[in-house]
């Protein structure tokens, strides 16, 4: 403001600069072009190596309990398997339908399949299409069952393991699971029946519940 030399005050200089930038923008085309970048194989490999593309089942359980709605959970298994049991809030999308499912690139997407293979493949398919926020549920549904639905107390538990188990027991109860206690011999050989689907209260709907305060 002080160095106003005649007509060209600071305000007018900034206004001119703004006008210029706005005018140039007319001819620059879409700003999204920066996003059609190349698939960086090394970068992908690094992500895989650092394992930052995983979400642990315990973490996901925690998010669902908290009612977080800032992610989409995708079940990649067949429709029959999906109707049999799925993690609350999951959408059923098969690998082939994934491209047309209307996933947005600014969404956080968590994929899971029975084990880890299909979700890993889907992960690469989406990554190749520049979806950045794609994650896999670590160990797939198998680990979900093992860690969340049917957590197990080790035979000779340490105090830390006991505390951990006590916590997981509650989480398990939320999802209608059955924590496994007693020695391995006493446990049923077959996996305990999967919980009924109406058991847990899933984070309702697609509408994000978070309230953000924005503006002034």
Q: Which stretch binds another protein (CB under 8 A): 79-87, 92-100, 178-186, 205-213?
A: 205-213
Q: Which of 160, 189, 193, 216 binds another protein (CB under 8 A)?
A: 216
Please report how close the Cβ of residue 26 comes to another protein at its closest, in angstroms.
5
Q: What is the 3-state secondary structure (H, E, C) of the chain?
A: CCCCECCECHHHHHHHHHHHHHHHHCCCCCHHHHHCCCCCHHHHHHHHHHCCCEECHHHHHHHHHHCCCCEEEEECCCHHHHHHCCCCCCEECCHHHHHHCCCCCCCEEEEECCCCHHHHHHHHHHHHCCCCCEEEECCHHHHHHHHHHCCECCCCCCHHHHHHHHHHHHHHHHCCCCCECCCHHHCCCCCCCCCCCCCCCCCCCCCCCCCCCCCC
Q: Which stretch binds another protein (CB under 8 A): 146-154, 158-166, 185-193, 206-214?
A: 206-214
Could you say whether residue 154 binds another protein (CB under 8 A)? Answer: no
Q: Which stretch binds another protein (CB under 8 A): 15-23, 147-155, 163-171, 185-193?
A: 15-23
Of the pair 14, 166, the CB lying nearest another protein is at 14
Q: Which stretch binds another protein (CB under 8 A): 76-84, 87-95, 194-202, 204-212?
A: 204-212
- Write each residue from 33 to 72 as x if it is in contact with another protein (CB under 8 A), else as -, in one continuous string: xxx-x--------------x-----------------x--
Could you say whether residue 10 binds another protein (CB under 8 A)? Answer: no
Of the pair 104, 158, the CB lying nearest another protein is at 104
Could you say whether residue 132 binds another protein (CB under 8 A)? Answer: yes
Of the pair 128, 166, the CB lying nearest another protein is at 128
Could you say whether residue 106 binds another protein (CB under 8 A)? Answer: yes
Query: Using CA atoms, how far apart are residues 93 and 175, in angstroms rounded to an integer?
Result: 22
């Amino acid at each position: 403001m002080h160095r106003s030399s005649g007509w060209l005050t600071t305000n007018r200089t900034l206004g001119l600069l703004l006008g210029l930038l706005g005018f140039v923008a007319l001819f620059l085309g879409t700003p999204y072009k920066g996003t059609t970048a190349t698939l960086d194989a090394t970068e992908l490999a690094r992500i895989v190596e650092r394992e930052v593309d995983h979400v642990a089942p315990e973490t996901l359980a925690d998010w669902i309990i908290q009612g977080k709605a800032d992610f989409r959970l995708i079940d990649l298994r067949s429709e029959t398997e999906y109707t049999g049991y799925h993690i609350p809030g999951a959408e059923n999308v098969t690998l082939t339908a994934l491209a047309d499912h209307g996933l947005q690139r600014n969404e956080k997407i968590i994929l899971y399949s029975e084990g880890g293979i299909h979700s890993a493949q889907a992960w690469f398919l989406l990554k190749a299409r520049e979806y950045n926020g794609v994650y896999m549920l670590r160990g797939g549904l198998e680990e979900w069952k093992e860690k969340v639905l049917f957590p197990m107390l080790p035979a000779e538990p340490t105090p830390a393991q006991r505390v951990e188990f006590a916590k997981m027991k509650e989480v398990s109860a939320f999802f209608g699971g059955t924590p496994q206690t007693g020695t391995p011999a006493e446990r049923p050989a077959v996996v305990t029946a999967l919980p009924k689907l109406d058991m847990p209260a899933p984070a309702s709907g697609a509408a994000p519940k978070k309230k953000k305060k924005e503006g002034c």
